[in-house]
Structure 1
Amino acid sequence: MFRAFVPALGPLIGLLIGLLATQPAAAAVVSGVDYPERLTVAGQPLVLNGAGIRYRFVVKVYTAGLYLPAKAATAEQALAMPGAKRLHIQMLRDIDGNTLGRLFTRGMEDNSTRAQFAKAIPGTLQLSELFVAKKNLKAGEHFSVEYRPGTGTQVLVNGQAMGKPIVEPEFFAAMMRIWLGDKPADDTLKDQLLGKPVEAQPGQLN
């Protein structure tokens, strides 16, 4: 009976191997969070450009991954690149939604010219309202900011679209400069999102 049973496992093992092979491979695992190598936004395939951790002093706040149509080594290339894009963030600690909205607004203002920020104000107000309505993001929750050509910027919280797309074309670039601008939220995270090798700072362990 055992000999008859062993050959019967062959097709099952082959099926399991095939299923595993079709699962998206994690190109990066950051503080336990998987960032797949590829995904699709608005029907366009994107590649993981880089991923890392946002630290507040030595405390981990969130992980972030940047997806682009093709690899970019500089902020200028990433911002100027046409097509769909996504920044995905997973929280590693709780944060008040109102506080997060204020931080994003300040980050956009610090990294934009007066004219650039003025054009992004309607979208900034819309984004702030979304996070105020959410009230707080808990550790383990996540959100994405997607640029969808012809539609605008869509914010998703835990995979669900929140509100209508932000139509101003300047808004997505202004928001990306929070992490990729001249005064980024975290210099090390900026390098990580651009795919540059970085050395862990004292107390900053993945």
Structure 2
Amino acid sequence: MKKSLCMLLLGLLVSFTTPGLGATEIAGIMLEDKIHLDKHDLQLNGAGVRSKAIFQVFVAALYLSEKSNQAAEILATPAAKRMQIVMLRDISAEKFGQNFMEGMKQNVSKEQKSKIIDQMIRLGEMFSKVPEFRKGDKLTVDWLPDTGTVIMINGKKTMSSLPDPLFYNALLKLWLGENTAQDSLKRQLLGEKADVK
């Protein structure tokens, strides 16, 4: 009797402490498989690691209301979305912001850029107010249909929301665009399994 009770308690303990129940692990970062964003239920579409040279820079995860492996479809949907970034190393916010701006320029046309230039400036100002991203810091870039683009660092809103969907898509194209910096990460965000542990 005592042995069976011990086994039962051990089983319960393992069920509460074993990682991977409702979560996905990428490069040591646990990502929830489902999240509630404002009044929207989203699911993990895909995740992977942004690498540069031999360094792992951050884990990126894309959450959608319905899974999709088509970048154009994801960009076109007006439904809620989240791009989540968890830093794997320290990096200056200035450098990180420069990478954002360069990536946006590579993936939007001159006409589109002229329409969102004010919002790009505001994004640059946001990065200028943050001295550094530290390992473990979390950046979320959300699209909420009734609100617009909401950017938070470690759960704190960093700037007022930006209502233009063109701007959110310009951000999302950093990872899903035709000229993304890392094609393997794009494929993983679109649902291909990452092999990084």
| Shorter-chain TM-score tier | 0.7 to 0.9
State the structure with more CA Rg: 1
- In structure 2, relative to structure 1, the CA distance for the partners of 1:16 and 1:197 (3 Å cut) is closer
For these two proteins, the number of residue pairs brought into alignment is: 194
Alpha-carbon displacement from aligned partner over 1:173-204 (angstroms, at most 9, x marks no partner): 00000110011021110000001246x6xxxx
* Map of 2:136 onto structure 1: 140
The alignment status of 1:72 with 2:68, answered yes or no, reads yes
TM-score (norm 1): 0.84
| Residues 46, 193 of structure 2: 8 Å contact kept | no
What is the rounded CA distance, in whole Å, between the counterparts of 2:87 and 2:27 in structure 1? 11
**Deviation at 1:24?**
6.7
| Post-superposition offset of 1:13 | 9.0
1:179 counterpart = 2:175:
yes
Displacement of 1:15 in angstroms is: 9.1
**Distance of 1:16 and 1:176 partners within structure 2:** 40
Structure 2: 5+ residue runs without aligned partners?
Answer: none
* Correspondences of 1:139-178 after superposition (within 5 Å): 139-178=135-174
Q: Distance in 2 between matches of 1:98 and 1:176?
A: 20
Which stretches of structure 1, 4 residues or more, deviate above 2 A after TM superposition?
12-20
Q: Is 2:68 aligned against 1:57?
A: no
Deviation per residue, 1:16-53 (Å, 9 max, x gap): 79978xx9710x21111111111011211011000000
Identity of aligned residues (%): 34
Q: Which 5+ residue runs of structure 1 have no aligned equivalent?
A: none
Partners of 2:89 and 2:184 lie apart in 1 by 19
Task: Identify the match of residue 104 of structure 2 among 91, 108, 112.
Answer: 108
- Residues 1:37 and 2:33 are matched in the alignment: yes
